[in-house]
């Protein structure tokens, strides 16, 4: 009888002198990609040192959860989470908060029915939510700004050294605002300034822009227009109104916070795909919350 080879032999054991054939040892199956591993790949891929103090953390769900699919979004509203779950994307990478404050602090919401409903939905569907704000903005170039320029077709208008700074060839403010509204699908854009004012230089501050740095942005030499997501109306809006009344040719475009950063998270999905080849990755848009009565 020929000797069995290592590839065909079954392990042999002996009990009371009786030879037994034992089942072969099978290699352990590789575990699926976990949420914690997704976060580690994001940290490694974003290209800047990870901050010790940051809001960029898993804010809901368990790090050891196996990821079936990833959705990126501007804001992890309940509506977005429901659509992600229906699409089989159980990890959501959100730019803005999930629980109603930038730091996702939930102490004051423990008995709140809306918070409890949302948290229960995440837990029942084995979902994980990762807040990705500071480092996506900190990336070189800024991930939000890159996506917004791509969506608006303004890559050639931006200063390569500072993509917040934009150059135009005297386009009337009203026409430029209309183009932004159309390209971004905005329902409730607001504009301060003369629609006929020619725009040669603009500054973009995607998302929230407070009085400072809003005032220094507008004070820069030659800047005609500041484009923002949102601000306090009784601060920066009032300041721009007074600039105009004092004779300065200035303007302010208020896009709305969600739409002013949305395309940055659309770009994030494309950025993530090569980092996460094991799972599908897609962008899910957050709905613009406001509408205009007809």
Does residue 3 carry a pLDDT above 70?
A: no
Q: Would the pTM count as exceeding 0.75?
A: yes
The chain-wide mean pLDDT, for the chain, equals: 92
Q: Does residue 27 have a pLDDT over 80?
A: no
Least reliable range by pLDDT among 25-29, 57-61, 175-179 = 25-29
Distances (CA, A) of 60 to 72, 118, 119, 215: 15, 10, 8, 37
Query: Which of the listed CATH numbers 3.30.450.90, 3.40.1390.30, 3.40.640.10, 3.40.190.10 matches domain 143-255?
Result: 3.40.1390.30
Q: What is the pLDDT of residues 270-285, one digit of tens each?
A: 999 999 999 999 999 9
Do the domains 35-138+262-283 and 143-255 sit in the same CATH topology, yes or no?
A: yes
Contact 56, 135 (CB under 8 A): yes
Quick: pLDDT tens for 86-121: 999 999 999 999 999 999 999 999 999 999 999 999
More confident residue, 145 or 20: 145
CATH fold for domain 35-138+262-283: 3.40.1390
Q: What is the pLDDT of residue 31?
A: 67
Q: Which residue has the tokens 């150059």?
A: 167
Share of the chain above pLDDT 70, in %: 89
4: its two tokens:
């069995």
Model pLDDT for residues 147-190, shown as the tens digit of each residue: 999 999 999 999 999 999 999 999 999 999 999 999 999 999 99
Domain ranges of the chain: 35-138+262-283, 143-255
- Identify which of 93, 146, 97, 157 has the alpha carbon closest to the alpha carbon of residue 263: 146
pLDDT at 184: 98
User: Which structure tokens are listed for 11?
Assistant: 């392990």
């Amino acid at each position: 009888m020929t000797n069995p080879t290592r590839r065909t032999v079954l392990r042999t054991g002996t009990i009371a002198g009786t030879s037994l054939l034992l089942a072969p040892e099978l290699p352990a199956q590789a575990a699926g990609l976990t949420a914690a591993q997704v976060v580690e790949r994001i940290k490694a891929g974003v290209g800047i040192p990870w901050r010790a103090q940051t809001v960029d953390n898993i804010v809901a769900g368990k790090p050891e959860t196996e990821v079936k699919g990833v959705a990126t979004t501007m804001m992890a509203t309940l509506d977005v989470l429901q659509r992600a779950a229906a699409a089989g994307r159980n990890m959501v990478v959100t730019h803005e908060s999930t629980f109603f404050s930038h730091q996702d602090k939930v102490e004051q919401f423990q008995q709140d029915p809306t918070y409890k409903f949302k948290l229960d939905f995440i837990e029942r569907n084995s979902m994980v939510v990762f807040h990705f704000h500071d480092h996506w903005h900190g990336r070189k170039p800024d991930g939000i700004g890159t996506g917004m320029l791509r969506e608006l077709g303004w890559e050639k208008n931006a200063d390569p050294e500072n993509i917040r700074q934009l150059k135009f060839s005297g386009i009337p403010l009203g026409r430029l605002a209309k183009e932004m509204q159309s390209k971004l699908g905005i329902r409730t854009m607001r504009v301060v300034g003369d629609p006929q004012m020619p725009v040669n230089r603009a500054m973009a501050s995607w998302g929230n822009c407070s009085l400072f740095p809003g005032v220094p942005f507008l004070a820069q030499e030659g800047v005609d227009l500041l484009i923002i997501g949102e601000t306090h109306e009784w601060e920066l809006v009032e300041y721009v109104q007074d600039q105009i009344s004092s004779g300065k040719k200035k303007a302010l475009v208020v896009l709305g916070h969600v739409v002013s950063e949305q395309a940055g998270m659309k770009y994030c999905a494309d950025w993530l795909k090569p980092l996460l080849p094991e799972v599908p990755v897609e962008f899910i848009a957050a709905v613009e919350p406001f509408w205009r009565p007809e």
